[in-house]
Structure 1
Amino acid sequence: MKTFSFLLPALLLTTSACKKEQTELEKLPDATQTGTGSAGFLLDGVAWLPEASNLSTGSPSSASWQRTVAGRSLRVSSSRYIDRTTLQIFLPHIKQGGVFQLNQSANPPSGFSNPSYSMFIMSKSLTVPRIFLTGPTATGTVTVTRFDTVARVVSGTFELTVQEETSPETHRLTDGRFDLTF
């Protein structure tokens, strides 16, 4: 009996000491397709998850499917209040899921006349925000795995390189995923 009373605490101590720390990839939400409201990606290898401010009542991730002159366009957006960063993915004329190449020049102020593109915005301070875009020299791929206009669910994955508008600085957004309602 004395041996058992010694082994039990030792066993409990050993199992509690073996708690494995999550990898950056394991910190991301699962790539689901049910409209869970989740999103995330690795920003240069570090997990980036959307986060609302303490004062916000809305979700930090959203999707909208809007009617435009040329058809319907999808915009997926995720923001993180803590470091004031935002990712936007714009897919014009989307009618169904599929693979979308983000490899053309875009001019976000021109609105819905743009090709498919992604924009990553960093506005940590009160200075002018830094804008990073996909384009001919910083390409990306978005795979829409579910585009359900009845259930109003859009899900997908992405891999992007974005380049700052005013410098050669780039960032890699890998293992990206989103599962949102619109």
Structure 2
Amino acid sequence: MKNLLFFTLLSIGLLSSCKDDEQDQNVLPEATQSGKNTAGALINGKVWVATTKKLNSNNDGTYCEKLNENYLIKLDLRKNPDRYTESIYLIVSIPNLEINQTYEVINQTPDDGYNYATYISNDKVSYSSNPNNSGRIKITRLDLQNQIVSGTFEFKAKDSNGNIVTITEGRFDKKFD
């Protein structure tokens, strides 16, 4: 009987100490640098957390590559794998990248090539960065061997009607997809 009581209490203790790996959607994820596949930001002051760790195979996803002296970094952060769901997409080309240096490089439109950001809202409205609304990115870890990129970002973007969305306190800790 004592053994049964002991094992029952032990089981309850073990089960109650298990952590839920799901990210709380009401709290920004910690700014980590270990490839936890977390990302989030404040969008117009409201918490937004990416929940998809990998997109389907026909999308580029998150990655970084070195081209001569430039580092090309693409971040694809989404609520789910559907291509047209709420998402944040950044692509930047940074020459001679230094870790923990802030770069004001998010200042173009998607039509310009690199150095832009987009946000697609729940109702599928697309907001894009532009030269009048610059943004920043800071890479806090770049590990090409282990395929991890971590850092912070912020930017403003405008839709086709001139409405502006402000994205602040962005953070990411991603393994390449």
- TM-score, normalisation: structure 2: 0.68
* Match 2:164 to one of 164, 170, 177: 170
Question: What code does the residue aligned with 1:106 have?
Answer: T
3-state SS of 1:84 partner? coil
In structure 2, distance between residues paired with 1:158 and 1:58: 20
**Match in the other structure for 1:145:** 140
Deviation at 1:95, TM superposition (A): 5.3
Evaluate the alpha carbon distance shift between residue 78 and residue 103 of structure 1 in structure 2; reply closer, same or farther with a 3 A threshold. Answer: closer
How far, CA to CA, are the matches of 1:94 and 1:69 in structure 2? 9
What are the equivalent positions in structure 2 for 1:7-26 lying under 5 Å apart? none
User: What displacement does 1:105 show?
Assistant: 2.7
Matched with 2:10 is: none
The alpha-carbon deviation at position 67 of structure 1 amounts to 6.7
Distance in 1 (CA, whole Å) between partners of 2:94 and 2:132 is 23
What corresponds to 1:88 in structure 2? 89
1:154 is matched with 149
Indicate how the Cα distance of structure 1 residues 69 and 167 shifts in structure 2: closer, same or farther if over 3 A, else same.
Answer: farther
> Counterpart of 2:76 in 1: which secondary structure?
strand
Deviation at 1:93, TM superposition (A): 4.9
1:40 has 2:35 as partner: no
Work out the CA distance in 2 between the residues paired with 1:103 and 1:31. Answer: 20
Amino acid paired to 2:88: L
Q: Distance in 2 between matches of 1:84 and 1:152?
A: 25
Q: Separation in 2 of the partners of 1:30 and 1:138? A: 26
- Alpha-carbon displacement from aligned partner over 1:98-139 (angstroms, at most 9, x marks no partner): 32213533234x6xxx23111112363xxxx42211122222
- 2:169 and 2:87 map into 1 onto residues whose CA distance is 17
Conserved? CA contact 1:101–1:116, under 8 Å: no
Deviation at 1:159, TM superposition (A): 1.6
Unmatched 5+ residue regions in structure 2?
1-23
Any conservation in 2 of the 1:78–1:86 contact (CA below 8 Å)? yes
Aligned pair partner of 1:101 in 95, 100, 104: 104
Task: State the match for 1:179 in structure 2.
Answer: 173
Question: Does structure 2 conserve the Cα–Cα contact (< 8 Å) formed by 1:87 and 1:120?
Answer: yes
Identity %: 21
Matched residue type, 1:86: S
Q: Paired residue for 2:18?
A: none
Moved over 4 A (4+): 66-72
CA deviation vs aligned residue, 1:43-93 (integer Å, no higher than 9, x gap): 1111001134xxxx8469x51125779965211011114992110110125
- Work out the CA distance in 2 between the residues paired with 1:85 and 1:32: 23
Q: Is the 8 A contact 1:39 1:78 kept in 2?
A: yes
